[in-house]
Amino acid sequence: MVAGYSVAGPLRRAVAGFFATFAIVFALIAPAAAAQPPNAPLNSTNGMLRWINEYRNRPDPDSLPAVVRALSAVQAFKDAETCGVYIGFIAGVLGANPARAEALIAKMLAIDPADHWVLVRAIAYSGLPRWKDLLGKFVDRMPMRRAMVEKYLDGELPTLDQIDYAAKKPGMVDKIRVVLQLTDEHAQKPVTMAPSPELIDVLWGFYLATGTYAPVGRIVKLLPLANDKDSVDNLTTGSAAKFTLASNAVRDLALLNMLKWSVKHQPTDVAVVLDDVINTAETVDTVHMRKESIAAIEDLKQKGPNSKRELSGWGQVGQGALSMGCVVAAATGQIELGLPCVLGGAAYSAGMQYISH
């Protein structure tokens, strides 16, 4: 699986496993000359991976159902955290073949019913204009995943168009609102997809199916997370985006050219990191990038978020600092917050307690 990291969350396994499963990427993003011919046997994992790698150069959508059935037979879909590349690949093939999508899905249904979740997610991620119609059409043939289908149809589960590339960080007023319980906990939040290494796997799978810039562009938009010093999750995801782009571009010159074209059209925060990716790919210095990424994650784990360090001095500043929330609210027209002009000791203590967590 392409970069099937198991480190989303507060490094779910350990930092040592951050790049452990990346080795397979070299079997996937490989020179076309090393790929098997289209009629090569698909009765082994190695054969299937080679077929997937070559697909973007020699599209063969009619063979997809056989490959999916074979992957299910070898339990490739058993672990949801490590099969994102397959989900993205299936989604990419379906999205690129709208006229054949329904027939392909029908043939892929002959897998272990427990694996039907892969098809549900791939259809939702395909980007097909009629993806909801397709889910509705096949829901009766995937009864174990009816609840999952219904959540997608109701908009309760996100698609690739709903990736939250940069979640807003709470400012001082936001923190005060939380402290004083002025937030509406029941307010409906938009459905979004949180960035994660698993998402990056999905996007690489989509690229393997299409060879297009669209999935690569989505990975590129995650690059600023590589400089996030407040969230281990974000830093891990950004580092994964950065490292996989560089490592894959070393072996895929078409991808490298895409990145060189893309950097000219990116905002500064993206372009700075993407320049580093391009330079690393051109100099084949991914070992240095990997070490830097692991060191940054370890540093954040040991020292804590920057925001927490920056706010550590609030204890010396005293009550006036927190009271500044009243001034900020007035200056930004947020009097509706109902903040008192003078915050008492209880409010201050609550603020410091919130900041310390």
What's the pLDDT tens digit per position in 156-209?
Answer: 999 999 999 875 555 555 555 555 555 565 566 789 999 998 999 999 999 999
> Contacts from 157-161 at CB under 8 Å and sequence distance 24+?
157/124, 157/191, 158/191, 158/192, 158/193, 159/124, 159/125, 159/127, 159/131, 159/193, 160/91, 160/125, 160/127, 160/193, 160/202, 160/203, 160/206, 160/218, 161/127
**Helix, strand, coil in percent for the chain, rounding step 5:** 70, 0, 30
pLDDT band at 234 (very low <50, low <70, confident <90, very high): confident
Give the contacts of 104 (CB within 8 A, at least 6 positions apart).
61, 64, 65, 93, 94, 97
Cα separation, 112 vs 114, whole angstroms: 5
Q: What is the mean pLDDT of residues 350-356?
A: 40
Q: How many CB atoms lie within 10 A of CB 182?
A: 14
Position 128 scores a pLDDT of 97
Q: How many CB atoms lie under 10 A from the CB of residue 207?
A: 28
Percentage, residues of the chain above pLDDT 90: 50
What is the structure's pLDDT at 81?
A: 85
pLDDT digits (tens, 9 = 90+) for 302-312: 777 765 554 44
Q: Which two tokens stand for residue 220?
A: 């590129």
Any residues with CB less than 8 A from the CB of 216 and at least 6 apart, and which?
203, 207, 245, 255, 258, 259, 262
Which runs of E-coded beta strand occur in the chain?
none
Contact of 240 with 203, CB cutoff 8 Å: no
Terminal Cα-to-Cα distance of the chain (whole angstroms): 36
Q: Looking at residue 267, what is its pLDDT? A: 95
With 50 as the cut, is the pLDDT of residue 38 above it? no
Question: What pLDDT score does 218 carry?
Answer: 97
Return phi, psi of residue 193, to 5°: -105, 120
Give, for 258, the enclosing helix (H) or strand (E): helix 253-263
33: CB partners within 8 A, 6+ apart = none
For residue 164, give every residue at least 6 positions away whose Cβ sits within 8 Å of its Cβ, in sequence order, or none. Answer: 192, 193, 194, 195
Average pLDDT over residues 40-45: 64
What is the average per-residue pLDDT within 207-226? 96
0.85 surpassed by pTM: no
In this prediction, residue 346 carries a pLDDT of 37
Q: What is the pLDDT of residue 11?
A: 41
DSSP class of 162: G
Nearest residue to 67 via CA among 42, 91, 50, 92: 42
**Predicted local confidence at residue 293, as pLDDT:** 81
For the chain, give the longest Cα–Cα distance. Answer: 77
Query: Does residue 15 have a pLDDT over 90?
Result: no
